[in-house]
Amino acid sequence: MNPGATSAEPFLLIVLSSPSGAGKTTLARRLLAAQPELRFSVSHTTRPPRPNEVDGRDYHFVSPEAFDAMVAADAFAEWATVHSNRYGTSKNEIEAARSSCGGIVFDIDFQGARQLQAAYADLVTVFVLPPSMKELERRLRGRATDDAQAVARRLEQASVEIANYGLFQYLLLNDDFDRAFARLQAIVSAERCRRQRLALVAERLLRHGKTEP
């Protein structure tokens, strides 16, 4: 059990990954709203903020030089280059969550997920699939945050990311958002009940023995 958790639930490290436009960020936000004991992992990035993004809430927006300094100092649990920008999760972000909440949710790509899997054996990994590539393209164009060339790059990268689905424990088809979210909640509930997460509870019961004479 995690001493910093806000309830009796085990601490969880939850990765949500997907191609751009498949819905992982929206799912992450809904999960955090529904389960306030969870905390969002705020990544560092070298890309500029988009409209309505807030530094420290959505990302820590840093210069390439500052990012380089963190890499040199081994400050990241994972980092990767995505769409010509770099993203990374600081080790301090994870340790602060362990001592203050019931779990942390990562919104990262497959490269970051692979690195975290190597460092944290208890990681929960979920890959969000779009219903089709045509629908993914429609969503990307509908966001109106990228030009046609950027959308084409994201669609090309989407195939690379989907090809790495085998790195993940769970695949979540986001063809209907409410259904996808219900399944995500079911994954979180099931992971909290895994034997290895509650084994110490069972062992404590055995050590204390029967409470009745």
Give start and end residues of each alpha helix (H) in 128-176. Answer: 133-143, 148-162
| Residues lower than pLDDT 70 in the chain | 1-8, 144-145, 209-213
- 22 contacts 174 by C-beta, under 8 angstroms: yes
Q: What is the pTM assigned to this prediction? A: 0.84
> In this structure, are residues 128 and 180 in contact, taking their beta carbons and an 8 Å threshold?
yes
In this structure, what token pair is assigned to residue 60?
């820590």
For 27-178, strand residue ranges (E) read: 38-40, 43-45, 59-61, 76-82, 85-90, 103-107, 123-129, 170-173
* Closest by Cα among 14, 12, 9 to 168: 14
Q: By CB neighbour count within 10 A (0-12 exposed, 13-18 middle, 19+ buried), where does 77 fall?
A: buried
Residue 150 is predicted with a pLDDT of 83
Q: Are strands 123-129 and 170-173 parallel, antiparallel or unpaired?
A: parallel
pLDDT digit string, tens, across residues 175-184 = 999 999 999 9
Quote the pLDDT of residue 3: 42
Q: Which fold has domain 12-208?
A: Rossmann fold (3.40.50)
CB atoms within 10 A of CB 146: 17
Q: Tokens 């980092």 correspond to what residue?
A: 79
* pLDDT computed for residue 210 by the predictor: 52
Tokens representing 198 are 């509650």
- Find residue 15's DSSP bridge partners: 106, 125
What is the domain partition of the chain in residue ranges? 12-208
What counts of helices (H) and strands (E) characterise the chain? 8, 9
Angle between helices 133-143 and 148-162 (to 10 degrees): 140
Query: Which element (helix H / strand E) includes 11?
Result: none
| DSSP 8-state symbol, 154 | H
Q: How far apart are CA 163 and CA 46, in angstroms?
A: 26
Residue 53, beta-bridge partner list: none
Characterize the bridge pairing of strands 103-107 and 12-17: parallel
Q: For 55-70, write each residue's pLDDT tens digit.
A: 999 999 999 999 999 9
Q: How many residues does the chain have?
A: 213
Residue 143's pLDDT is: 75
Three-state secondary structure call for residue 164: coil
